[in-house]
Amino acid sequence: MEKTLSIIKPDAVANNVIGKIIDRFESNGLRVAAMRKIQLTKKDAAKFYEVHKERPFFNDLVEYMTSGPVVVMVLEGENAVLKNRELMGATDPKKAAPGTIRADFAESIEANAVHGSDSLENAQKEIRFFFAEREIL
Ligand code: ADP
Ligand code: MG
């Protein structure tokens, strides 16, 4: 069993599709082990996306991720990290495979509905960023 971090981003929360996105996870063998709706501060978002701080889109990304509430979740299941990435689809919704979350719900390469950890190591780091051990059930 693996755990990964998922975030339903501000565009998808504003579009009222939290439930539809969680259904994709639950219908494909992932279980919600922890969940919270929060408003990220600029400091939170900048720290969370620290690896991208030299990228040209970094400031816009921090603005976007703080533009409204998000839902942070720990997903658990077999090969959860890769499974979640497959269900999400490519970063750019125009390139995302049909039937993926981003193909169906994302608005743009930036406002792309969901975040998912890209490796087991980053999943552990990102889960620790948002959740205490006692909140993961
Ligand atoms: P992913 O979320 O698929 O792992 P990245 O880690 O490369 O993608 O990028 C993190 C986030 O930064 C993306 O999900 C998206 O919101 C934003 N982003 C990535 N590339 C661009 C870009 N070229 N222009 C604007 N925003 C981008
Ligand atoms: Mg990434």
Task: Calculate the CA 37 to chain-centre distance.
Answer: 12
User: Which residues are near ligand 2, the ion (C-beta closer than 5 Å)?
Assistant: 118
Q: Exactly one of 115, 117, 127, 131 is catalytic; name it.
A: 115
Q: Which long-range contacts (CB under 8 A, 24 or more apart) does 130-135 make?
A: 130/5, 130/36, 130/72, 131/34, 131/36, 131/72, 131/74, 135/34, 135/36
Residue 109 neighbours by CB distance under 10 Å: 14
Task: Calculate the CA 133 to chain-centre distance.
Answer: 19
With a 6 A CB cut-off, is 112 part of the ligand 1 pocket?
Answer: yes
pLDDT digits (tens, 9 = 90+) for 96-137: 999 999 999 999 999 999 999 999 999 999 999 999 999 999
* Number of residues in the chain: 137
With a 6 A CB cut-off, is 91 part of the ligand 1 pocket?
Answer: yes
Instruction: Please state, in angstroms and rounded to a whole number, the distance separating the CA atoms of residues 56 and 60.
Output: 9
Q: Is 52 a catalytic residue?
A: no
pTM: predicted TM-score of the whole model, two decimal places: 0.98
Q: What is the pLDDT of residue 22?
A: 99
Q: What is the pLDDT of residue 60?
A: 98
